[in-house]
C-alpha cells in the first residue's frame, strides 16, 4: 500500500431501495477504511436522471446509519471535497470530456437513436449483436469519419451528440484485483462507451472515474457486476494522465440465492419469506411494500454480522463479531472470489444470538411497547423476570409475546391433544384440591411454592406426572413453556388459582 491516506467510497445510484448486497459493499468499504485509519465516503451517483427514484437517497442514508456505517464525508455528512451528489457536480465533468477529445482518446458521435436502433435490429436479424466499437466505428457518423468542418458545423448548430471513448485496438489490459488476483481483458472485446451527452451530463463511467480521482480515492471496493467496467476505467485514468494516483480495485463476490444457484433477488425473498433490503421500502409508484430487516425485527448487529460473513471469513471458525472485531480482523485478501450463498435460516440464528446477548432490562424495554399495543399493562420488574424466563425460546423480540402472552392474559383455549392425553377422569377433582391448597400458601415465591407443593403431593401420594401437565394447560393453554413454578409465581396467586378453576369448569372429560 502506498503512503497515501486510505480513502474509499460507497457510490450507490438512487434507483430504488438499497439491496443487502449494496449494504455489504458499504460495510466492506467501511471496515477497510477503519482498519487502515482511512476515510469512508458516501457519493450519490445520480447522473442517470431517468432511473432516479424519489426517496431512494434518504433510504440509503438511513440504512447506513441503522447499520452503524456512518460516512466521514458525503451527502448528508459534510466534507471538503464535495459536493458528493453527482447531479450537483455537472459543471465539473465537461472539461475532462473535452480533454479526452483533445488527446484523441474520445470522439463525438452523431448517430441518432433511431439509426442505432436500426443497426441493432439489422444485426439481430442476422443473429449478431450490434456494438459501437473499433470494428464498426469507422462506418458510423462520428468525428473520426466526418470532416472536421462538418463536425464543427454540427456542434455549432446544436446537433445532439454523445462523446464516446475511443477504445484502443486489440490491447491487453491487465490488473491485479485485490480479491481476484490478475485479471486480463482484451480491448478488442470492448465497446466505445458513451462518456458524455450533449445535455451536459456525464455517464456513470466518466463521472465515476473523475470523482474517484478528485475525491482522492485510493481503493475501489465494489460488486462483481462492475468488474467488466474495470478495463475502461483503467484506460480512462491513463488517458486523463492519472495513472500514478489511480485507485486499486477489489471486486466483491455475488451474493447467491439460498439454493446456491444464481444471484439473490428480491423475488427470492418474496418467495421464501425473508427480506433482501435493510429497511422496509414503499415503492413510490406502485405503492408496493418490500420488507426490511429492521422492520422484520433483526438487530443491526445481527444484520451486519451476517453480511460480513457473506464472502469473507477471519481465517478461523469465528462466526460472531462485534463491529470492532470486524474492523480488527478484516482483510480484503480473505474475501473469496466465488459467490457467497445466503442462508435465511442462518440469518435468524444470528439474530437469536444477539437477542440472547441483550440484558433482561434491554429486552424488557423492547417488549414494553408490544405489551402496550396488546393493551396489557405490566410492571417493568415483572416484565424483566418474564423475559429472563422465555428469551431462550426466541429469535426475535416479537416472539416474546408468542412465548409469554399467558403471563399477561389467561388462555382462551386449551390444546386439544394434550387434553386427550392428560386429562383423566379424576383430573378435575385433583385440580380442585390443588387450587384449594395453593390458596393456603402465604409466601408466593417459586421455590417456596415448589417445596410446599412437593410436600402436599407426597402426603397425597399423587405423582407429579399426573398433575403437572394439567396445571400447565390451565395456566398456559399449551403443554410447553418455562418452569411451572416460575410461571405460578409470575402469574400470581389469585390469578393462578382462578385459571385452574376455569380450566376445571371448561374442560370436561368423557
**Given candidates 12, 202, 253, 481, which one binds ligand GLU under the rule CB under 6 A?**
12
Q: 209 or 500: whose CB is closer to ligand GLU?
A: 209
User: Minimal distance in Å, beta carbon 234 to ligand GLU?
Assistant: 13
Binder of ligand GLU out of 52, 77, 130, 226 (CB under 6 A): 226
For β-strands 181-186 and 248-252, DSSP reports them as unpaired
- State which residue, 143 or 208, has the beta carbon closest to ligand GLU: 208
Q: Name which position in 8, 11, 75, 363 contacts ligand GLU (CB under 6 A).
A: 11
Mark the segment that binds ligand GLU (CB under 6 A) among 7-15, 182-190, 300-308, 408-416: 7-15
User: What is the CA angle 235-239-242, rounded to 5?
Assistant: 90
Complex with ligand GLU: residue 13 or 403, whichever CB lies closer? 13
Q: Is residue 13 involved in binding ligand GLU (CB under 6 A)?
A: yes
Going by C-alpha positions, the residue among 88, 102, 8 that lies closest to residue 45 is 88
**Residue linked to cell 436502433:** 117
Which one of 5-13, 183-191, 273-281, 383-391 is the stretch in contact with ligand GLU (CB under 6 A)?
5-13
Handedness of CA 209, 255, 39, 3 (dihedral sign): negative
Which of 27/397 has CB closer to ligand GLU?
27
Q: Whole-number minimum distance, CB 140 to ligand GLU, in Å?
A: 28
Those residues whose C-beta lies under 8 Å from the C-beta of residue 296, and which sit 6 or more positions away, are 274, 275, 396
Return the bridge partners of 197, or none: 162
Which residue lies nearer to ligand GLU by CB, 90 or 346? 90
DSSP codes, 280-325: -EE-TTT--EE-BTTTTT--HHHHHHHHHTSSB--SSS-----HHH
How far apart are CB 9 and ligand GLU at their closest, in Å? 7
- Closest separation in Å from C-beta 204 to ligand GLU: 6
Residue 176 sits at φ, ψ, to 5 deg, of -90, 90
- Closest distance of CB 230 from ligand GLU, Å: 9
User: How many residues of this chain bind ligand GLU (CB under 6 A)?
Assistant: 9
Residue 285 CA: distances (Å) to CA of 19, 289, 342, 495:
18, 11, 29, 52
Q: How far is the CB of 222 from ligand GLU (least distance, A)?
A: 4
- Is the CB of 14 or the CB of 470 nearer to ligand GLU? 14
- Rank residues 52 and 226 by Cβ distance to ligand GLU and give the closer one: 226
Cβ count near 471 (within 10 Å): 23
Nearer to ligand GLU, 247 or 470 (CB): 247
Residue with the three cell numbers 445510484: 13
Could you say whether residue 47 binds ligand GLU (CB under 6 A)? no
The rounded distance, in Å, linking the Cα atoms of 367 and 404 is: 11
Give the single-character DSSP code of 392.
G
CB atoms within 10 A of CB 1: 8
Contact status: 73 vs ligand GLU (CB under 6 A): no
Catalytic hit among 94, 197, 263, 266: 266
DSSP 249: E
Annotated catalytic, 501? no
For residues 249 to 268, the per-residue mask of contacts with ligand GLU, x marking binding by CB under 6 A and - elsewhere, is: --------------------
Distance CA 318, CA 304 (A): 15
Task: Please report, as residue ranges, which positions from 398 to 417 form the binding site for ligand GLU (by CB under 6 A).
Answer: none
Should residue 45 be labelled a site residue for ligand GLU when binding is judged by CB under 6 A? yes
Three-state SS letters, 78-118: ECCCCCCEHHHHHHHHHHHHHHHHHHCCEEEECCCHHHHHH
Q: Which of 253, 248, 310 is nearest to 276 (CA)?
A: 310
For residue 52, state whether it binds ligand GLU (rule: CB under 6 A). no
The 196-225 contact track toward ligand GLU, x by CB under 6 A, reads: --------x---x-----------x-x---
CB 269 within 8 A of CB 354: no
Measured from the CB of residue 131, what is the shortest distance to ligand GLU in angstroms? 22
Q: Which of residues 165-184 bind ligand GLU (CB under 6 A)?
A: none
**What is the set of active-site residues?**
266
Which residues make up the interface to ligand GLU (CB under 6 A)? 11-13, 45, 204, 208, 220, 222, 226
Amino acid at each position: 500500500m502506498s503512503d497515501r491516506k486510505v480513502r474509499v467510497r460507497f457510490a450507490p445510484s438512487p434507483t430504488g431501495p438499497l439491496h443487502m448486497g449494496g449494504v455489504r459493499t458499504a460495510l466492506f468499504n467501511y471496515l477497510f477504511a477503519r482498519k487502515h485509519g482511512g476515510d469512508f465516503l458516501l457519493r450519490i451517483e445520480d447522473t442517470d436522471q431517468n432511473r432516479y427514484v424519489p426517496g431512494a437517497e434518504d433510504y440509503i442514508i438511513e440504512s447506513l446509519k441503522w447499520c452503524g456505517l456512518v460516512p466521514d464525508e458525503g451527502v448528508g455528512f459534510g466534507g471538503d471535497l464535495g459536493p458528493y451528489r453527482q447531479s450537483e457536480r455537472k459543471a465539473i465533468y465537461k472539461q475532462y470530456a473535452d480533454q479526452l477529445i483533445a488527446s484523441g482518446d474520445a470522439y463525438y458521435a452523431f448517430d441518432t437513436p433511431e439509426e442505432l436502433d436500426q443497426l441493432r435490429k439489422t444485426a439481430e436479424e442476422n443473429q449478431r449483436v450490434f456494438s459501437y466499437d473499433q470494428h464498426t466505428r469507422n462506418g458510423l457518423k462520428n468525428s473520426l469519419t466526418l470532416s472536421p468542418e462538418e463536425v464543427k458545423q454540427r456542434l455549432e448548430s446544436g446537433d445532439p451528440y454523445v462523446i464516446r471513448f475511443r477504445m484502443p485496438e486489440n490491447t491487453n489490459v491487465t490488473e491485479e484485483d485485490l480479491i481476484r488476483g490478475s485479471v486480463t481483458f482484451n480491448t478488442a472485446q470492448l465497446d466505445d462507451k458513451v462518456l458524455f451527452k450533449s445535455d451536459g451530463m456525464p455517464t456513470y463511467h466518466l463521472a465515476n472515474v473523475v470523482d474517484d480521482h478528485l475525491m482522492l480515492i485510493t481503493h475501489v471496493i465494489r460488486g462483481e457486476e462492475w468488474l467488466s467496467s474495470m478495463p475502461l476505467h483503467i484506460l480512462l485514468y491513463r488517458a486523463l494522465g492519472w495513472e500514478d494516483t489511480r485507485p486499486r480495485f477489489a471486486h466483491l463476490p455475488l451474493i447467491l440465492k439460498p439454493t446456491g444457484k444464481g444471484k439473490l433477488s428480491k423475488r427470492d425473498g418474496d418467495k421464501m419469506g425473508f427480506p433482501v433490503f435493510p429497511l422496509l421500502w414503499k415503492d413510490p409508484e406502485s405503492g408496493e411494500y418490500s420488507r426490511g430487516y429492521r422492520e422484520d425485527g433483526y438487530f443491526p448487529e445481527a444484520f451486519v454480522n451476517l453480511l460480513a460473513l457473506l464472502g469473507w471469513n477471519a481465517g478461523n471458525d469465528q462466526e460472531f463479531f462485534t463491529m470492532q472485531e470486524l474492523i480488527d480482523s478484516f482483510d480484503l485478501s480473505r474475501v473469496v472470489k466465488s459467490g457467497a450463498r445466503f442462508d435465511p435460516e442462518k440469518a435468524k440464528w444470528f439474530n437469536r444470538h444477539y437477542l440472547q446477548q441483550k440484558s433482561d432490562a434491554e429486552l424488557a424495554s423492547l417488549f414494553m411497547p408490544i405489551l402496550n399495543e396488546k393493551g396489557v399493562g405490566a410492571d417493568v420488574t415483572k416484565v424483566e423476570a418474564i423475559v429472563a424466563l422465555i428469551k431462550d425460546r426466541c429469535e426475535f423480540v416479537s416472539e416474546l409475546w408468542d412465548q409469554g402472552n399467558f403471563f399477561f392474559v389467561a388462555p382462551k383455549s386449551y390444546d386439544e391433544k394434550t387434553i386427550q392425553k392428560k386429562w383423566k377422569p379424576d383430573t378435575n377433582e385433583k385440580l380442585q384440591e390443588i387450587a384449594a391448597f395453593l390458596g393456603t400458601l402465604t409466601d408466593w415465591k417459586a421455590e417456596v411454592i415448589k417445596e410446599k407443593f412437593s410436600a402436599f403431593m407426597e402426603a397425597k401420594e399423587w405423582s407429579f406426572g399426573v398433575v403437572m401437565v394439567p396445571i400447565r394447560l390451565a395456566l398456559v393453554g399449551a403443554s410447553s413453556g418455562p418452569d411451572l413454578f416460575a410461571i405460578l409465581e409470575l402469574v400470581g396467586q389469585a390469578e393462578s388459582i382462578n385459571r385452574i378453576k376455569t380450566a376445571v369448569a371448561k374442560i370436561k372429560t368423557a
